Structure 1
Amino acid sequence: MNFCGKSEIFDFVDAPTSGRLGLSETKIEESSDVYDAKISQLLPFLSELFARIQLLITHLHESSSFYILSIFLRKGHQV
């Protein structure tokens, strides 16, 4: 069973003496072109994600401002 990371593959192997799984690590060398290609694929996704987060924060700020304003207006009418 392999778990691929950024630059490493971890292989789970059976340890015959203990009956437990051991972890062996194998390094994989990747060129900077591969990393540049991966980063360039992630940039549009990250840009969209940050735009949606910013929009969410704006909506939360607006709704909390209206809520606080309504509390002040209610208290103003009670006095």
Structure 2
Amino acid sequence: MDQTEKLLMGIENILSVASDLVQEVDRLKRVEEECQMLKEKLFLKQLTTSEQDVFALTLDGHSITEMQNILFREESTIKN
């Protein structure tokens, strides 16, 4: 086996390892996204239904006044 063949085999090996690494990085990204979703679900489960409603409306950019009209709650209730 001459040097050219050895070099080609080495390059093929490197490309194979690189492909495996790319697949592993993709897998780890999916795992990270799943972990983040589980954290968010755990956080939301600690809130009451009313608190979850206010939280969702806050994330959507609603003001307290808008939340009062949507949820039919007093300002102090929403703030708490």
* TM-score normalized with structure 2 length: 0.51
Which amino acid is 2:48 matched to? H
Between 1 and 2, higher relative CO (CA 8 Å, sep ≥ 6) is seen in 1
Of residues 3, 9, 17, the one that matches 1:46 is 17
d(CA) in 2 for partners of 1:77 and 1:67? 18
Decide which of 30, 35, 40 is 1:69's aligned counterpart: 40
Q: Please, which moves more after superposition, 32-41 or 61-70?
A: 32-41
The equivalent position to 2:28 in structure 1, one of 57, 67, 73, is 57
TM-score using structure 1 length = 0.51
Q: Which has the higher helix share?
A: 2
Percent of pairs identical after alignment?
6
Work out the CA distance in 2 between the residues paired with 1:61 and 1:74.
20
Residues in 2 aligned to 1:77 and 1:62: alpha-carbon distance in whole angstroms: 25
Shift of 1:46: 1.3
Aligned residues: 50
1:34 is displaced (CA, Å) by 4.8
Q: Flag as ranges the 4+ runs of structure 1 deviating above 6 A.
A: none
Higher strand share: 1
Name the SS for the 1:76 alignment partner: coil
Q: Which runs of 5+ in 1 are unaligned?
A: 1-29
Question: Deviation digits for residues 20-78 of structure 1, max 9, x if unmatched?
Answer: xxxxxxxxxx8654542221111221121111000000000000100011000000227
Unaligned runs of 5+ in 2: 52-80
